[in-house]
Amino acid sequence: MAQEQASTLAKLARLRVLIPAFLLLLLLAGGLGYLILLRPRSIFMRWAQSDLPDQITMISIGPYPEDEEFQHLKKAKVKYIVSLLDPRLPYEKELIEREMALAPKYQMTVKVFPMASIFDRQIFPDYLEQQQKAVDFLKNLDGPAYMHCYLGKHRVIHVRDELVKAGVPKRYWTAASSSQEYWDLVNRLDEARELFRQKDYSKVVEVLAPVTVKDVDVTSLRGWSHYRVGMIEEAAEDFRQGLEAEPTNPRNLLGSGYCYLRSGQAVMAQRQFSAVLEQIPDEPGALTGMGLAHLRLGNKAAAAQLFRRVLEKEPGSEEARNYLRQAEAP
């Protein structure tokens, strides 16, 4: 018995020595790991990262940019750094602060949409909310943006996929021609968007006339400009060309649906609006269009239900309210 007690005491003594040593080892390993995480371009992390794109487009995506990458982005006239890092993660907080300090040196603005994840697993409950905010910002760019997460492989891809659903053309991040042709197209689109906001629709058509590629952005802008001035056949052709480039593009599907409505083809219009709603279930324009199609077909109850859905999303929409009155009228 005494021998067993002595053995037990000896083991406890060894544990008292080993446990602090083990904890110290964990602490050192954790500290080393933290230091590695603060150096995304180190040999320990570089193997896992995506590469910075050779040709910068309107929305370029990739890994965390260091000073060398900032220089490359500056030459390509990037205006915004869209960071999906999350300051609630201590190492990402330090990285955000670092790029915030670097950006003014290169005349860039950093926009942060915190989307914390580890191995593509969401950490905080506002992940999707922040993702949507990033999409909303990138949909309305007034200059080239570089979007990054830590590795450039997960968070950026989720945002990019949502941009596709929102109708932003693939050309925004995939250069399909020479750099000169690409930027000529981007500049024409910027000018056309501003003219569209000013409701100078004829001028929009004039600015985009030299563009011959079937680009979803061009066809959508030109199509809606033709539509606004009553040139429905021309608008329908624009939207058709856009759908040749990207058959599921919701903006061109939406425009095509309204052209079918204007030409008295309510059933064809419904098909287009349904294709939009499959991608974006609460898209107000598609809900309104579907309601109008039902109204033309005499389905007043179905139309009223759709207009109510629009008003739930946009309570101030007088257009939807007027349509609802028509649907509810005896």
Q: What mean pLDDT do residues 110-132 have?
A: 88
Round to whole Å and give the CA distance between 118 and 322: 49
Worst-scoring range by mean pLDDT, 20-29, 92-101, 204-213? 20-29
| Percent of the chain clearing pLDDT 70 (strictly above) | 79
Whether residue 54 has pLDDT greater than 80:
no
The residue type found at 154 is H
Question: Which has the higher per-residue pLDDT, 23 or 284?
Answer: 284
Q: Are 56 and 78 in contact (CB under 8 A)?
A: yes
Domains of the chain: 59-172 (3.90.190.10), 179-328 (1.25.40.10)
Which tokens belong to 47? 């193997």
Structure-block tokens of residue 326: 């028509």
| DSSP helix/strand/coil, 120 | coil
Q: Would you place residue 252 in the very low, low, confident or very high pLDDT band (cuts 50, 70, 90)?
A: very high
232, with CB counted inside 10 A (0-12, 13-18, 19+), is: middle
Tokens of 44: 């320990």
Question: Bigger pLDDT: 27 or 189?
Answer: 189
Q: Is the pTM of this model over 0.75?
A: no
Q: For position 7, what pLDDT does the model report?
A: 53
DSSP result, 254-306: HHHHHHHHHTT-HHHHHHHHHHHHHHSTT-HHHHHHHHHHHHHTT-HHHHHHH
pLDDT tens digits, 126-150: 999 999 999 999 988 878 899 998 8
- pLDDT over 70 at 34, yes or no: no
Averaged pLDDT of the chain: 82
* CA-wise closest residue to 146 among 92, 76, 222: 76
Query: Is the confidence at residue 189, as pLDDT, over 90?
Result: no
- pLDDT recorded at residue 40: 54
Task: Name the most confidently modeled range: 7-11, 54-58, 76-80, 168-172.
Answer: 76-80
Q: Order of strands across the sheet with 80-83?
A: 59-62, 145-148, 80-83, 109-112
What's the sign of the alpha-carbon dihedral 102, 108, 112, 116?
Answer: negative
